Chain A
Amino acid sequence: MDIVEELLKGNRLALSRAITAIENEYDEAMDIMKKLYPHTGHAFVLGITGPPGAGKSTLTDKLARAYRAQGKTVGIIAIDPTSPFTGGAILGDRIRMNGLTMDEGVFIRSMGTRGSLGGLSHKTADAVKAMDAFGKDIIFVETVGVGQSEVDIVKAADTTMVVLIPGMGDDIQAIKAGILEIGDVFTINKADHDGADKLVREMNMMLDLDGLMTDWRPPIQKVIASQNEGITETIENIEKHFKYISENGILTKRRTERSKNEMLDVLHSNIGSYITNKLVETGKMDEYVEQIKARETDPYTVVSNVMKDMLK
Protein backbone atom coordinates (compact mmCIF):
# COMPACT_ATOMS: atom_id res chain seq x y z
CA MET A 1 0.00 0.00 0.00
CA ASP A 2 1.32 3.43 -0.94
CA ILE A 3 0.43 5.15 2.33
CA VAL A 4 0.52 8.73 1.06
CA GLU A 5 -1.41 8.05 -2.13
CA GLU A 6 -4.06 6.02 -0.30
CA LEU A 7 -4.33 8.56 2.53
CA LEU A 8 -4.96 11.37 0.08
CA LYS A 9 -7.66 9.23 -1.55
CA GLY A 10 -9.44 8.97 1.81
CA ASN A 11 -8.34 5.48 2.90
CA ARG A 12 -8.74 5.38 6.70
CA LEU A 13 -6.34 2.47 7.17
CA ALA A 14 -3.67 4.48 5.33
CA LEU A 15 -4.23 7.44 7.68
CA SER A 16 -3.94 5.08 10.62
CA ARG A 17 -0.72 3.54 9.29
CA ALA A 18 0.73 6.98 8.56
CA ILE A 19 0.17 8.06 12.18
CA THR A 20 1.83 4.84 13.40
CA ALA A 21 4.86 5.50 11.19
CA ILE A 22 5.06 9.04 12.55
CA GLU A 23 4.62 7.99 16.16
CA ASN A 24 7.13 5.17 16.01
CA GLU A 25 9.57 7.30 14.01
CA TYR A 26 9.87 4.69 11.29
CA ASP A 27 12.40 5.50 8.55
CA GLU A 28 9.64 6.28 6.07
CA ALA A 29 7.98 8.83 8.38
CA MET A 30 10.07 11.75 7.19
CA ASP A 31 9.24 10.93 3.58
CA ILE A 32 5.52 10.61 4.39
CA MET A 33 5.55 14.01 6.09
CA LYS A 34 7.36 15.60 3.15
CA LYS A 35 4.69 14.36 0.77
CA LEU A 36 1.75 15.22 3.01
CA TYR A 37 2.91 18.71 3.91
CA PRO A 38 1.71 20.43 0.70
CA HIS A 39 -1.79 19.13 1.47
CA THR A 40 -1.94 20.60 4.98
CA GLY A 41 -3.02 23.99 6.28
CA HIS A 42 -6.76 23.70 5.70
CA ALA A 43 -8.03 22.31 9.01
CA PHE A 44 -9.06 24.31 12.04
CA VAL A 45 -7.23 22.94 15.08
CA LEU A 46 -9.05 23.15 18.40
CA GLY A 47 -7.09 22.39 21.57
CA ILE A 48 -8.97 21.09 24.60
CA THR A 49 -7.13 21.09 27.88
CA GLY A 50 -7.87 21.01 31.59
CA PRO A 51 -7.32 18.95 34.74
CA PRO A 52 -7.94 15.17 34.90
CA GLY A 53 -11.61 14.34 35.21
CA ALA A 54 -12.79 17.76 34.05
CA GLY A 55 -14.78 16.14 31.26
CA LYS A 56 -12.54 16.90 28.29
CA SER A 57 -13.39 13.67 26.45
CA THR A 58 -17.12 13.97 27.10
CA LEU A 59 -17.05 17.58 25.93
CA THR A 60 -15.03 16.60 22.85
CA ASP A 61 -17.66 13.97 22.05
CA LYS A 62 -20.49 16.51 22.30
CA LEU A 63 -18.69 19.24 20.35
CA ALA A 64 -17.72 16.75 17.64
CA ARG A 65 -21.37 15.73 17.25
CA ALA A 66 -22.40 19.38 16.96
CA TYR A 67 -19.82 19.98 14.23
CA ARG A 68 -20.91 16.81 12.44
CA ALA A 69 -24.48 18.14 12.48
CA GLN A 70 -23.12 21.14 10.56
CA GLY A 71 -21.72 18.73 7.98
CA LYS A 72 -18.07 19.18 8.95
CA THR A 73 -15.64 16.27 9.13
CA VAL A 74 -13.81 15.75 12.39
CA GLY A 75 -10.48 14.34 13.49
CA ILE A 76 -9.76 13.74 17.17
CA ILE A 77 -6.38 13.13 18.76
CA ALA A 78 -6.76 12.15 22.39
CA ILE A 79 -3.67 11.99 24.55
CA ASP A 80 -3.23 10.07 27.80
CA PRO A 81 -0.11 9.66 29.95
CA THR A 82 2.56 7.03 29.37
CA SER A 83 4.03 5.41 32.47
CA PRO A 84 7.56 6.71 33.08
CA PHE A 85 8.40 3.35 34.64
CA THR A 86 7.15 0.76 32.16
CA GLY A 87 6.47 2.80 29.02
CA GLY A 88 2.94 1.39 29.03
CA ALA A 89 -0.26 3.39 28.96
CA ILE A 90 -4.00 3.08 29.32
CA LEU A 91 -5.58 5.17 26.61
CA GLY A 92 -9.17 5.52 27.77
CA ASP A 93 -10.54 8.61 26.08
CA ARG A 94 -12.45 6.62 23.47
CA ILE A 95 -14.80 5.31 26.14
CA ARG A 96 -16.53 8.71 26.15
CA MET A 97 -16.68 8.82 22.36
CA ASN A 98 -17.98 5.37 21.45
CA GLY A 99 -21.01 6.88 19.75
CA LEU A 100 -18.70 8.46 17.17
CA THR A 101 -16.87 5.29 16.16
CA MET A 102 -19.28 4.26 13.41
CA ASP A 103 -19.51 7.75 11.91
CA GLU A 104 -17.29 7.69 8.82
CA GLY A 105 -16.82 11.45 9.07
CA VAL A 106 -14.97 11.07 12.37
CA PHE A 107 -11.51 9.60 12.95
CA ILE A 108 -10.29 9.17 16.53
CA ARG A 109 -6.72 8.33 17.44
CA SER A 110 -5.42 7.83 20.98
CA MET A 111 -1.79 8.63 21.73
CA GLY A 112 0.43 8.09 24.76
CA THR A 113 2.68 10.96 25.84
CA ARG A 114 5.75 8.70 25.48
CA GLY A 115 7.94 10.79 27.73
CA SER A 116 6.79 14.24 26.67
CA LEU A 117 5.88 16.49 29.60
CA GLY A 118 3.98 19.37 28.02
CA GLY A 119 0.55 17.71 27.86
CA LEU A 120 1.00 16.42 24.29
CA SER A 121 3.30 13.82 22.75
CA HIS A 122 6.26 14.81 20.59
CA LYS A 123 4.48 13.55 17.51
CA THR A 124 1.07 15.14 18.08
CA ALA A 125 1.72 18.01 15.68
CA ASP A 126 2.65 15.61 12.87
CA ALA A 127 -0.40 13.45 13.55
CA VAL A 128 -2.52 16.62 13.25
CA LYS A 129 -0.92 17.26 9.86
CA ALA A 130 -1.74 13.73 8.68
CA MET A 131 -5.41 14.29 9.58
CA ASP A 132 -5.30 17.73 7.95
CA ALA A 133 -3.94 16.25 4.70
CA PHE A 134 -6.60 13.54 4.91
CA GLY A 135 -9.13 16.38 4.62
CA LYS A 136 -10.58 16.79 8.09
CA ASP A 137 -12.27 20.18 8.56
CA ILE A 138 -11.80 20.32 12.32
CA ILE A 139 -9.17 18.56 14.38
CA PHE A 140 -9.62 18.30 18.13
CA VAL A 141 -6.47 17.83 20.18
CA GLU A 142 -7.37 16.68 23.66
CA THR A 143 -4.40 16.95 26.01
CA VAL A 144 -3.62 14.72 28.96
CA GLY A 145 -5.21 15.87 32.20
CA VAL A 146 -2.99 18.83 33.00
CA GLY A 147 -1.89 20.43 36.24
CA GLN A 148 -0.64 23.97 36.01
CA SER A 149 2.11 24.23 33.47
CA GLU A 150 1.53 21.81 30.60
CA VAL A 151 0.93 24.43 27.95
CA ASP A 152 2.33 22.90 24.73
CA ILE A 153 -1.19 22.88 23.30
CA VAL A 154 -1.01 26.59 22.47
CA LYS A 155 1.75 25.85 20.00
CA ALA A 156 -0.33 23.20 18.24
CA ALA A 157 -3.84 24.73 18.24
CA ASP A 158 -5.53 27.67 16.54
CA THR A 159 -7.97 28.07 19.42
CA THR A 160 -7.38 26.67 22.88
CA MET A 161 -10.26 25.82 25.16
CA VAL A 162 -9.57 25.36 28.87
CA VAL A 163 -12.08 23.15 30.69
CA LEU A 164 -12.43 23.70 34.41
CA ILE A 165 -14.72 22.28 37.08
CA PRO A 166 -15.92 23.73 40.39
CA GLY A 167 -14.32 22.78 43.68
CA MET A 168 -10.66 22.60 42.73
CA GLY A 169 -9.24 25.51 44.68
CA ASP A 170 -9.71 29.07 45.81
CA ASP A 171 -9.20 32.34 43.94
CA ILE A 172 -5.43 32.26 44.48
CA GLN A 173 -5.33 29.33 42.05
CA ALA A 174 -6.98 31.60 39.50
CA ILE A 175 -4.20 34.20 39.52
CA LYS A 176 -1.32 31.78 39.12
CA ALA A 177 0.56 31.52 35.86
CA GLY A 178 0.09 28.52 33.60
CA ILE A 179 -2.90 26.93 31.99
CA LEU A 180 -5.30 29.72 32.93
CA GLU A 181 -3.26 32.09 30.77
CA ILE A 182 -3.65 30.02 27.64
CA GLY A 183 -7.43 29.83 27.41
CA ASP A 184 -8.96 31.56 24.39
CA VAL A 185 -12.26 30.15 25.53
CA PHE A 186 -13.14 28.89 29.02
CA THR A 187 -15.65 26.19 29.79
CA ILE A 188 -16.87 25.48 33.30
CA ASN A 189 -18.06 21.89 33.07
CA LYS A 190 -20.19 20.06 35.64
CA ALA A 191 -21.91 23.40 36.21
CA ASP A 192 -24.65 21.66 38.19
CA HIS A 193 -22.12 21.07 40.98
CA ASP A 194 -21.71 23.45 43.91
CA GLY A 195 -19.36 26.34 43.35
CA ALA A 196 -19.84 26.81 39.60
CA ASP A 197 -21.00 30.44 39.94
CA LYS A 198 -18.20 31.20 42.36
CA LEU A 199 -15.69 29.81 39.86
CA VAL A 200 -17.16 31.98 37.10
CA ARG A 201 -16.76 35.05 39.36
CA GLU A 202 -13.16 34.14 40.18
CA MET A 203 -12.33 33.58 36.54
CA ASN A 204 -13.85 36.91 35.64
CA MET A 205 -11.82 38.58 38.35
CA MET A 206 -8.69 37.00 36.94
CA LEU A 207 -9.54 38.25 33.47
CA ASP A 208 -10.26 41.76 34.83
CA LEU A 209 -6.71 41.88 36.17
CA ASP A 210 -5.11 40.70 32.96
CA GLY A 211 -2.58 43.32 31.98
CA LEU A 212 -1.90 41.69 28.63
CA MET A 213 -5.55 41.95 27.70
CA THR A 214 -6.12 42.33 23.99
CA ASP A 215 -9.44 43.12 22.34
CA TRP A 216 -10.36 39.50 22.95
CA ARG A 217 -11.75 38.73 26.36
CA PRO A 218 -12.01 34.95 26.73
CA PRO A 219 -15.67 34.04 27.23
CA ILE A 220 -16.63 31.79 30.13
CA GLN A 221 -19.41 29.31 29.48
CA LYS A 222 -21.10 27.05 32.01
CA VAL A 223 -21.68 23.59 30.59
CA ILE A 224 -23.06 20.23 31.66
CA ALA A 225 -21.42 18.15 28.94
CA SER A 226 -23.03 14.86 29.94
CA GLN A 227 -26.47 16.42 29.41
CA ASN A 228 -25.52 18.37 26.30
CA GLU A 229 -26.19 21.69 28.06
CA GLY A 230 -24.21 24.73 26.95
CA ILE A 231 -22.74 23.01 23.88
CA THR A 232 -24.33 25.36 21.33
CA GLU A 233 -23.03 28.38 23.26
CA THR A 234 -19.57 26.83 23.50
CA ILE A 235 -19.49 26.29 19.74
CA GLU A 236 -20.49 29.93 19.28
CA ASN A 237 -17.63 31.04 21.52
CA ILE A 238 -15.15 28.92 19.56
CA GLU A 239 -16.41 30.30 16.24
CA LYS A 240 -16.28 33.86 17.55
CA HIS A 241 -12.70 33.37 18.61
CA PHE A 242 -11.75 31.86 15.28
CA LYS A 243 -13.36 34.79 13.48
CA TYR A 244 -11.53 37.22 15.75
CA ILE A 245 -8.09 35.69 15.17
CA SER A 246 -8.75 35.37 11.44
CA GLU A 247 -9.71 39.02 11.05
CA ASN A 248 -6.95 40.46 13.22
CA GLY A 249 -4.01 38.71 11.66
CA ILE A 250 -3.50 36.70 14.86
CA LEU A 251 -4.16 33.40 13.11
CA THR A 252 -1.52 34.20 10.50
CA LYS A 253 0.89 35.16 13.25
CA ARG A 254 0.21 31.97 15.21
CA ARG A 255 0.62 29.82 12.13
CA THR A 256 3.85 31.59 11.18
CA GLU A 257 5.15 30.95 14.68
CA ARG A 258 4.08 27.33 14.33
CA SER A 259 5.92 26.95 11.01
CA LYS A 260 9.04 28.28 12.66
CA ASN A 261 8.67 25.89 15.60
CA GLU A 262 8.08 22.98 13.24
CA MET A 263 11.25 23.71 11.37
CA LEU A 264 13.27 24.19 14.56
CA ASP A 265 11.88 20.96 16.07
CA VAL A 266 12.92 18.95 13.03
CA LEU A 267 16.26 20.74 12.95
CA HIS A 268 17.01 20.11 16.63
CA SER A 269 16.01 16.47 16.59
CA ASN A 270 17.85 15.71 13.35
CA ILE A 271 21.04 17.51 14.28
CA GLY A 272 20.89 16.03 17.77
CA SER A 273 20.55 12.47 16.52
CA TYR A 274 23.12 13.02 13.74
CA ILE A 275 25.76 14.14 16.23
CA THR A 276 24.81 11.50 18.81
CA ASN A 277 25.05 8.75 16.20
CA LYS A 278 28.46 10.00 15.03
CA LEU A 279 29.76 10.05 18.59
CA VAL A 280 28.54 6.52 19.21
CA GLU A 281 29.87 5.18 15.88
CA THR A 282 33.33 6.63 16.40
CA GLY A 283 33.50 5.46 20.01
CA LYS A 284 34.03 9.05 21.13
CA MET A 285 30.94 8.98 23.29
CA ASP A 286 32.40 6.62 25.89
CA GLU A 287 35.75 8.36 25.71
CA TYR A 288 34.23 11.77 26.47
CA VAL A 289 31.99 10.38 29.22
CA GLU A 290 35.03 8.82 30.93
CA GLN A 291 36.99 12.08 30.69
CA ILE A 292 34.10 14.08 32.11
CA LYS A 293 33.61 11.60 34.91
CA ALA A 294 37.32 11.82 35.80
CA ARG A 295 37.02 15.64 35.76
CA GLU A 296 39.70 15.83 33.06
CA THR A 297 37.33 17.91 31.02
CA ASP A 298 33.73 19.14 31.29
CA PRO A 299 30.52 18.75 29.23
CA TYR A 300 30.70 22.37 28.01
CA THR A 301 34.19 22.06 26.54
CA VAL A 302 33.34 18.71 24.96
CA VAL A 303 30.24 20.13 23.26
CA SER A 304 32.12 23.21 22.02
CA ASN A 305 34.77 20.97 20.48
CA VAL A 306 32.27 18.53 19.00
CA MET A 307 30.39 21.41 17.38
CA LYS A 308 33.59 22.91 16.00
CA ASP A 309 34.51 19.50 14.50
CA MET A 310 31.17 18.48 13.08
CA LEU A 311 29.37 21.65 12.07
CA LYS A 312 32.04 23.25 9.94
Chain B
Amino acid sequence: MAKVRVLVAKPGLDGHDRGAKVVARALRDAGFEVIYTGLRQTPEQIAEAALQEDVNVVAMSILSGAHPHLFPKVVNLLREKGMDDVLIIGGGVIPETDIPALKEAGIAEVFTPGTPTGDIVDFIKANVK
Protein backbone atom coordinates (compact mmCIF):
# COMPACT_ATOMS: atom_id res chain seq x y z
CA MET B 1 0.00 0.00 0.00
CA ALA B 2 3.02 2.27 0.33
CA LYS B 3 3.09 4.79 -2.46
CA VAL B 4 6.16 6.71 -3.60
CA ARG B 5 5.66 10.42 -2.93
CA VAL B 6 7.79 12.92 -4.81
CA LEU B 7 8.08 16.66 -4.23
CA VAL B 8 8.82 18.44 -7.51
CA ALA B 9 10.17 21.88 -6.74
CA LYS B 10 11.63 24.88 -8.51
CA PRO B 11 14.15 26.59 -6.24
CA GLY B 12 15.47 30.01 -7.12
CA LEU B 13 14.23 32.76 -9.34
CA ASP B 14 14.07 31.45 -12.89
CA GLY B 15 10.54 31.23 -14.25
CA HIS B 16 10.91 28.22 -16.52
CA ASP B 17 8.79 25.34 -15.26
CA ARG B 18 8.01 23.44 -18.47
CA GLY B 19 10.66 20.85 -17.66
CA ALA B 20 9.46 20.43 -14.08
CA LYS B 21 5.90 19.97 -15.31
CA VAL B 22 6.90 17.38 -17.92
CA VAL B 23 8.79 15.45 -15.26
CA ALA B 24 5.87 15.79 -12.81
CA ARG B 25 3.53 14.34 -15.41
CA ALA B 26 5.90 11.46 -16.21
CA LEU B 27 6.22 10.61 -12.52
CA ARG B 28 2.44 10.69 -12.16
CA ASP B 29 2.13 8.28 -15.06
CA ALA B 30 4.65 6.02 -13.33
CA GLY B 31 2.19 5.71 -10.45
CA PHE B 32 3.85 8.13 -8.03
CA GLU B 33 2.10 10.79 -6.00
CA VAL B 34 3.65 14.04 -7.12
CA ILE B 35 3.40 17.14 -4.97
CA TYR B 36 4.09 20.14 -7.18
CA THR B 37 4.80 23.38 -5.37
CA GLY B 38 5.31 25.78 -8.25
CA LEU B 39 7.88 28.43 -9.02
CA ARG B 40 10.32 30.45 -6.93
CA GLN B 41 10.64 28.37 -3.81
CA THR B 42 13.26 29.05 -1.17
CA PRO B 43 15.29 26.07 0.09
CA GLU B 44 13.53 26.54 3.44
CA GLN B 45 10.09 26.25 1.81
CA ILE B 46 11.13 23.15 -0.12
CA ALA B 47 12.49 21.40 2.98
CA GLU B 48 9.44 22.28 5.06
CA ALA B 49 7.01 21.14 2.33
CA ALA B 50 8.98 17.88 2.04
CA LEU B 51 8.59 17.37 5.79
CA GLN B 52 4.85 18.10 5.88
CA GLU B 53 4.24 15.86 2.87
CA ASP B 54 6.58 13.11 4.15
CA VAL B 55 7.94 12.56 0.64
CA ASN B 56 10.38 9.81 -0.34
CA VAL B 57 11.96 11.89 -3.09
CA VAL B 58 12.73 15.59 -3.60
CA ALA B 59 13.24 16.44 -7.28
CA MET B 60 14.47 19.95 -8.03
CA SER B 61 14.75 21.73 -11.34
CA ILE B 62 16.85 24.81 -11.87
CA LEU B 63 17.77 26.73 -15.02
CA SER B 64 19.32 29.86 -13.61
CA GLY B 65 22.75 28.57 -12.63
CA ALA B 66 22.11 28.88 -8.90
CA HIS B 67 22.31 25.11 -8.38
CA PRO B 68 25.74 25.05 -6.62
CA HIS B 69 24.27 27.27 -3.92
CA LEU B 70 20.64 26.10 -3.67
CA PHE B 71 20.80 22.30 -4.10
CA PRO B 72 23.23 21.64 -1.20
CA LYS B 73 21.25 24.02 0.99
CA VAL B 74 18.11 21.91 0.56
CA VAL B 75 20.11 18.75 1.37
CA ASN B 76 21.38 20.28 4.61
CA LEU B 77 17.97 21.60 5.65
CA LEU B 78 16.35 18.21 5.09
CA ARG B 79 19.03 16.53 7.20
CA GLU B 80 18.55 19.11 9.96
CA LYS B 81 14.86 18.23 10.01
CA GLY B 82 15.66 14.55 10.47
CA MET B 83 14.69 13.59 6.93
CA ASP B 84 17.91 11.77 6.14
CA ASP B 85 16.36 8.95 4.13
CA VAL B 86 14.99 11.19 1.37
CA LEU B 87 16.30 10.64 -2.13
CA ILE B 88 17.31 14.03 -3.55
CA ILE B 89 17.71 14.50 -7.28
CA GLY B 90 18.25 17.51 -9.51
CA GLY B 91 17.83 18.55 -13.09
CA GLY B 92 17.96 21.45 -15.49
CA VAL B 93 20.70 23.34 -17.26
CA ILE B 94 23.64 22.09 -15.23
CA PRO B 95 27.20 21.94 -16.60
CA GLU B 96 28.81 18.49 -16.48
CA THR B 97 31.70 19.97 -14.52
CA ASP B 98 29.38 20.95 -11.64
CA ILE B 99 27.90 17.49 -11.20
CA PRO B 100 30.65 15.83 -9.10
CA ALA B 101 30.43 18.60 -6.49
CA LEU B 102 26.63 18.30 -6.35
CA LYS B 103 26.87 14.54 -5.83
CA GLU B 104 29.46 15.13 -3.15
CA ALA B 105 26.95 17.45 -1.46
CA GLY B 106 24.27 14.77 -1.34
CA ILE B 107 22.39 15.06 -4.65
CA ALA B 108 21.94 11.42 -5.65
CA GLU B 109 21.74 12.08 -9.40
CA VAL B 110 21.59 15.00 -11.81
CA PHE B 111 19.55 14.81 -15.01
CA THR B 112 20.52 17.24 -17.74
CA PRO B 113 18.57 18.29 -20.88
CA GLY B 114 17.73 15.44 -23.24
CA THR B 115 17.29 12.83 -20.51
CA PRO B 116 14.38 10.51 -21.35
CA THR B 117 11.80 10.81 -18.52
CA GLY B 118 11.87 7.02 -18.23
CA ASP B 119 15.46 7.24 -16.94
CA ILE B 120 14.31 9.42 -14.05
CA VAL B 121 11.47 7.01 -13.21
CA ASP B 122 13.86 4.04 -13.31
CA PHE B 123 16.39 5.83 -11.13
CA ILE B 124 13.76 6.61 -8.52
CA LYS B 125 12.40 3.06 -8.53
CA ALA B 126 15.90 1.65 -8.08
CA ASN B 127 17.01 4.02 -5.34
CA VAL B 128 14.00 5.10 -3.30
CA LYS B 129 13.96 4.02 0.34
Interface residues, chain A, with chain B CB atoms under 8 Å away: 1, 12-13, 16-17, 19-20, 23-26, 82-83, 86-92, 94-95, 98, 101-102, 107-110, 112, 114
Contacts and interface: CB of A to CB of B under 8 A. Distances in A.
Given A16-B53, A108-B49, 7 more contacts: A16-B54, A24-B2, A25-B1, A90-B24, A91-B35, A101-B49, A110-B53
A86 B51 contact: no
Contacts of B36: 90-92, 94-95
Interface size class of B (residues with CB under 8 A): 20 to 34
Considering the complex of A and B, which 3 residue pairs feature the smallest CB-CB distances, nearest first?
Answer: A88-B28, A95-B38, A16-B54
Contacts of B1: 24-26
Interface stretch (B40-48, B61-69, B97-105, B112-120): B40-48
Interface string B76-96: 000001110000000000000
B35 A102 contact: no
25 contacts: A13-B82, A13-B83, A16-B51, A16-B54, A17-B54, A23-B3, A25-B1, A82-B33, A83-B28, A88-B27, A88-B28, A88-B30, A88-B33, A89-B33, A91-B35, A91-B53, A92-B35, A98-B37, A101-B45, A101-B48, A101-B52, A102-B45, A102-B48, A109-B53, A114-B3
Contact of A89 (B2, B28, B45, B53): B28
A70 B53 CA distance: 26
B35 to A, nearest CB: 5
Contacts of B28: 83, 86, 88-90
Q: Is the interface of A mostly helix, strand, loop or mixed?
A: mixed
A94 to B, nearest CB: 5
Nearest to A109: B52
Contacts of A19: 54
Given A16-B53, A98-B45, A101-B48, A88 B37 contact: no
A88 B6 CA distance: 11
A204 B54 CA distance: 43
Best-buried of B1, B24, B38, B52 by chain A (most CB within 10 Å): B52
Nearest to B29: A86
Interface in B12-38: 24-25, 27-38
A91 B33 contact: yes
A16 B24 contact: no
Contacts of A23: 3
B41 A98 contact: yes
A87 B31 contact: yes
A36 B41 CA distance: 34
B14 to A, nearest CB: 16
Contacts of B54: 13, 16-17, 19-20
A101 B36 CA distance: 13
Contacts of A94: 35-38, 49, 53
Contacts of B2: 24, 26
Contact of A110 (B35, B44, B81): B35
Contacts of A26: 1-2
Contacts of A87: 3, 31
Among B27, B37, B45, B54, which residue has the most Cβ atoms of chain A within 10 A? B54
A26 B44 CA distance: 29
A83 B29 CA distance: 8
B48 A112 contact: no
